[in-house]
A and B are shown apart, each in its own frame.
Chain A
Amino acid sequence: AQTVTQSQPEMSVQEAETVTLSCTYDTSESDYYLFWYKQPPSRQMILVIRQEAYKQQNATENRFSVNFQKAAKSFSLKISDSQLGDAAMYFCAYRSPGQGNLIFGKGTKLSVKP
Chain B
Amino acid sequence: DVKVTQSSRYLVKRTGEKVFLECVQDMDHENMFWYRQDPGLGLRLIYFSYDVKMKEKGDIPEGYSVSREKKERFSLILESASTNQTSMYLCASSGGGRGGTEAFFGQGTRLTVV
Contacts and interface: CB of A to CB of B under 8 A. Distances in A.
Interface string B17-31: 000000000000011
B30 A100 contact: yes
A47 B102 contact: yes
Chief secondary structure at chain A's binding surface: loop
Contacts of B90: 45
A102 B48 CA distance: 11
A44 B105 contact: yes
Interface stretch (B37-45, B61-69, B70-78): B37-45
Contacts of A52: 100
Contacts, number: 55
The range of chain B's interface size is 20 to 34
B10 to A, nearest CB: 11
B45 A45 contact: no
Contact of A44 (B35, B100, B107): B107
Nearest to A105: B42
Interface in A26-61: 33, 35, 37, 42-47, 50, 52
A33 B96 CA distance: 13
A98 B97 contact: yes
Interface of B: 30-31, 33, 35, 40-45, 48, 50, 58, 88, 90, 92, 94, 96-98, 100, 102-105, 107-108
